[in-house]
Amino acid sequence: MPTSAVATRTIDTSLGHIAVSVVGEGVPLVLMHGGGPGASALANYRDNLEAFAGFQVILPDQPGFGGSYRPAAADLEARSITEITVDAMFQTLDALGVETFHLLGNSLGGAAALGMAINQPHRVQKLVLMAPGGGWLPTAPTPTEGQKEMFRYFNGEGPTVAKMKNFVRTMVANPRLFDDANIQARYEASLDEGHIEFYHLYNNAFAKRGGMDPLWKDLDRITASTLLLWGRDDRTITLDGAWIMLKSIRKVQMHIFGNCGHWVQVEKKDEFEQLVNNFLRDGR
């Protein structure tokens, strides 16, 4: 599935417009991206699309990111970003005529995936979570190193290439995977004025709410078979908090990658793709 085959369109929801890219045919597989500076669905998963041939891969930009609408301060005051995203994603999937689907999410997108699997469990066939927000109950100090770096990125003098290098360095165990061209591209993607404005509103709302929604309280409502993927060396959503997910999700298995940080799909690309394919296609 080459990137050139991806079709991107805009879905109007009651909240605002959602940009969604679709490629391939088969059982729908929804990929939810993380929340770093410059993040979007294609930016997070473009290099993994070929591995998911045989699925209808659906890549929505979450509210506040990519080509989707930016929630206002009043929106973030009334509901958390996860609640907003869950609402927008179900409206988007309804508009696409997608009733049931496999669901994969990383970090902030993992929180949205958890929220979707908790709120409408009958629609999620299988669930893959990569260091998800909200389902994690940390035992180490917070905010973590990665969370601090994300907060710094848009504050002070604003985005810089040096800040992007520091951000990437905390996201991965091996920064050498990212050359200067990768860093520059991620930096340029982070400069959208609407996204910067949203990030300040989001950080303020996040602080007022005391962090992510406590989704760990409702993990027992998830009925989908679930695969947890985690980097042992994750400095953003650390491995020490994963135990509550293993304890509370009914049908769960876990794979831990050594020498891997927060971006499993990048640092352990081949293993990630093989594990997810095996899990989604035949349950192994």
pLDDT band of residue 146 (cuts 50, 70, 90) is very high
pLDDT of residue 116: 98
Asked if residue 56 lies in contact with residue 24, where contact means CB atoms within 8 angstroms, the answer is yes
Q: What average pLDDT does the segment 154-162 reach? A: 94
Gap between the Cα atoms of 164 and 185, Å rounded: 10
Q: What average pLDDT does the segment 29-48 reach? A: 94
What is the chain's Cα-based Rg? 17
Asked if residue 212 lies in contact with residue 194, where contact means CB atoms within 8 angstroms, the answer is no
Asked if residue 84 lies in contact with residue 111, where contact means CB atoms within 8 angstroms, the answer is no
33 has catalytic annotation: no
Gap between the Cα atoms of 180 and 156, Å rounded: 23
Q: Does residue 198 surpass a pLDDT of 90?
A: yes
Q: Does residue 157 surpass a pLDDT of 60?
A: yes
> Considering 33, 102, 195, 262, which one is annotated as catalytic?
262
| CA distances, 84 to each of 91, 147, 222 (Å) | 11, 21, 19
- φ and ψ at 142, to 5 degrees? -130, 155
Computed from CA positions of residues 141, 115, 67, 173, in that sequence, does the dihedral angle turn out positive or negative? positive
pLDDT band of residue 138 (cuts 50, 70, 90) is confident
pLDDT band of residue 2 (cuts 50, 70, 90) is low
pLDDT tens by residue, 72-116? 999 999 999 999 999 999 999 999 999 999 999 999 999 999 999
What is the average pLDDT value for the chain, to the nearest integer? 94
Degrees (nearest 5) of the Cα angle 21, 27, 31?
Answer: 40
Going through 49-188 in order, the beta strands assigned E by DSSP cover 55-60, 101-106, 124-130
pLDDT tens by residue, 226-266? 999 999 999 999 999 899 999 999 999 999 999 999 999 99
pLDDT band of residue 3 (cuts 50, 70, 90) is low
SS (H, E, C) 6-44: CEEEEEECCCCEEEEEEECCCEEEEEECCCCCCCCHHHH
pLDDT of residue 211: 84
Closest CA to 134 of 179, 85, 177, 82: 82
Which of 58-67, 88-97, 172-181, 258-267 bottoms out in mean pLDDT, i.e. has the lowest? 172-181
Q: Strand 55-60 relative to strand 17-23: parallel, antiparallel, unpaired? A: antiparallel
Overall residue count recorded for the chain in this entry: 284
Closest CA to 119 of 141, 134, 131, 97: 134
pLDDT of residue 4: 59
User: How far apart, in Å, do the first and last CA atoms of the chain sit?
Assistant: 24
Instruction: Name all domains of the chain by residue range, CATH numbers in brackets.
Output: 3-282 (3.40.50.1820)
pLDDT of residue 197: 95
